[in-house]
Structure 1
Amino acid sequence: MGRTVSYASGYAPEEDDFDPLADDFVSRERKYLHFDRPLSEQDRAKIRATPSAIMSNSFWPLLAFSKTERRVKRDKKGVITFNDKVREIKFGSHYDSAILEHYSTNISEDFEQFIKNKPIADSILAYRRGVGNNITHANNLFEEIRQRGETTAIAVDISGFFDNIRHEVLLENIKKVRNVERLSDPDYKIFTRMTQFEWVDTSVIEQRLEGKFRPKGRICNAYQFRKYLRTKGDSVVETNVKFFGIPQGTPLSGLYANISLLGFDKELHDYFTNIGGSVRRYSDDIAILIPANVSTNDAIAFVRLKLGEVGLQLSEHKTEISNFFFDRSAMAIVADKPFQYLGFTFDGQNVLIRQSSLNRFYSKMKSGVHAKVLAAHRNGVAPSNIYMRELFRKYTHFGKHRNFPRYAYRASREMKAPEIKKQIANHFNIFKEMVRLSIDSVY
């Protein structure tokens, strides 16, 4: 039931059909089009974010596009509402991304050392290696609910998280992580590139270049860039001149986001622990558990207050509350409504994949199958000779390790939730039917 619209005009890194284990900010597809040529994995592995490499590098502007995902919500009366979530994605050139990726690995070691043995180490879940994945984090939360019994679960969302990170707060926290009073020149150069970032919207590139150039593997060379894009008096290169906001889409974005909220995470942890609750933050999604007798309004108000202190706000309309209580007739813990967390729902007994995720998967399956069949028809391939291996790999349990059915099977196994496997049990028959219907409509 989800629909993604990309305005990247073919420039953006391609996404896996379903890969929740991959870091959002490290592209797994290295051949996307940018101002420089793609790097081989061997060349990429040799790049190091040394002080000299950072200081001598002239960073290209980022490429920017809007990604819109339509979300469907049905209330208790069955009324359907549509919500469009727009993310502004900005991603770097191949060499710049390699520098930032290695730099991120370096500073993340300091970050992990900084939070080591601190209570917040268990509260910060996203953009960290070795602390689990969506399945792990969701299962841990649901297990805590089971152990607590009667409790209230609250989900809140930070509005426009990356776009509103305060530079002053981020800078001070980087100093703490680095354990310095003043950033080194390389650290500060990276900081300025992430806060005073430059970008070019992909929608204007074709208008300016008009298809004149496409040097092998890149958008244009440096001379063409200066002449047609960074034109004196008529440049399409934009610069962030605000005192807040970092790009969402670089290998460093997630770690910088975590660093920016170090003080916020500590205050939330201390507050909710003191009232007998707990808190977890996965990027801009915050999950809170509090005793049933604690005011939910007070809990949400505290989060709102602390976000305001670092220049952020709640997405008020996204706040969700589920009350878990003991049902004497069922002799079990149940919820007044299922609690949603990291793509799963939990009602006190059953764990399921969100229906919207299933709908989105089948929507992608339908469009992917139809595109494959249509391409085969255009190339004069007979229906019986359509190469199906790629479709099997993407959309069935016979496919790659990280596709949706495989992910569902893994979640079912690790969460000891056979009900998840039942959700996806009919996917192969649906796949075959989509292939049949697509062939019938095209041939």
Structure 2
Amino acid sequence: IKTYVESKKGVYMRYSDDFIIILPYEDEHEIEAYKKLFFSYVGSMKDLIHLQKEKTSCYIYKDNAIYEDGVLSQISYLGFIFDGNNKKIRPRAITRYYSRMRRKAHTIGRRNWTSPTGRHISAKNLYRIYSENRKRQTFINYAKKAKQLLALNDREADALIKRHKHKIAMAIKEAQITNNEGE
């Protein structure tokens, strides 16, 4: 498949079991021919390759927009979305980051900043895990690197990068207030 795609001056990208194929085309008939050839090849592989129909899509890129079955759409691939013009971190990933960080802060607050073994838990732990960290990869490191490498134009990721320490401080404050009200 990779060899065929490259022979057509296309792009084949794969990460584990996720892959994307980008092929140039002159008219709609070429698209149908590509799809027929690709699915025929995969079908000939019998049990070696299994495509999940619900995760298999064909998109058309035209006039800086993405279409699926004639409807304006976007491509979601490896945690990013592309609408034909903008590249962004998938919003669900950012929401998940905030949710986990707040849950951790509240758990620490409920335990009155003490670990199950009785040791004091510092707020530094939250910052170490949920802020930029030179010693280990965090979501903030990931977002910064993605912004740089992929030239993301993503206001949500920009806000996350710029204000994550403030959000951590707010989560800690919430946890303290919640814990004090519970006493």
Q: TM-score range by the shorter chain?
A: 0.7 to 0.9
Q: Structure 2 CA distance, aligned partners of 1:377 and 1:270? A: 57
Check if 1:375 corresponds to 2:133. Answer: no
Q: 1:411 to 1:278 in 2, by over 3 A?
A: closer
Deviation string 1:297-331 (CA, Å, 9 cap, x unpaired) is 42551453154252x311111123332112xxxxx
Q: Distance in 2 between matches of 1:393 and 1:438?
A: 17
User: Given the alignment of the two structures, is residue 411 of structure 1 paired with residue 149 of structure 2, yes or no?
Assistant: no
Output the TM-score relative to the length of structure 2. Answer: 0.74
CA contact (8 A) 1:400 1:406 kept: no
Task: Please show how residues 24-423 of structure 1 align to structure 2 within 5 Å.
Answer: 268-292=1-25, 293=27, 294-295=31-32, 297-298=35-36, 300-302=38-40, 304-308=42-46, 310=48, 312-326=49-63, 333-335=64-66, 336-376=72-112, 387-397=122-132, 400-417=135-152, 419=154, 421-423=157-159
3-state DSSP of counterpart to 1:369: helix
Structure 1 430/436 Cα, relative in aligned 2: closer, same or farther at 3 Å?
same
| Cα distance, 1:400–1:372 mapped onto 2, change above 3 Å | farther
Does the 8 Å CA contact 2:105/2:171 hold for their aligned counterparts? yes
One of 154, 157, 174 as aligned partner of 1:437: 174
TM-score, normalising length: structure 1: 0.33
Counterpart secondary structure, 2:125: helix
State how far apart, in whole Å, the 1-side matches of 2:76 and 2:88 are: 9
Residue by residue over 1:399-420, the C-alpha shift from the partner in whole angstroms, topping out at 9 and shown as x without a partner, is 7541001211121122233536
Q: Residue 418 and residue 325 in structure 1: after superposition, are their counterparts in 2 closer, same or farther (change >3 A)?
A: closer
* 4+ runs deviating over 4 angstroms: 398-401
CA root-mean-square deviation: 2.7
Instruction: Provide the C-alpha distance between the structure 1 equivalents of 2:79 and 2:19, rounded to a whole number of angstroms.
Output: 14
Compared with structure 1, are the counterparts of its residues 306 and 434 closer, same or farther at alpha carbon in structure 2 (3 Å cutoff)?
farther
Count of residue pairs brought into register by the alignment: 164
Q: State the Cα deviation string for residues 45-65 of structure 1 (Å, max 9, x = none).
A: xxxxxxxxxxxxxxxxxxxxx
Q: Which amino acid aligns with 1:395?
A: Y
Q: Of Structure 1 and Structure 2, which has the larger fraction of its residues in helix?
A: 2
* Structure with the greater alpha carbon radius of gyration: 1
Q: SS at the partner of 2:65?
A: strand
C-alpha deviations, 1:6-51, integer Å up to 9, x for none?
Answer: xxxxxxxxxxxxxxxxxxxxxxxxxxxxxxxxxxxxxxxxxxxxxx
**Equivalent residue letter for 2:43:** L
Structure number with higher relative contact order (C-alpha < 8 Å, ≥ 6 residues apart)? 1
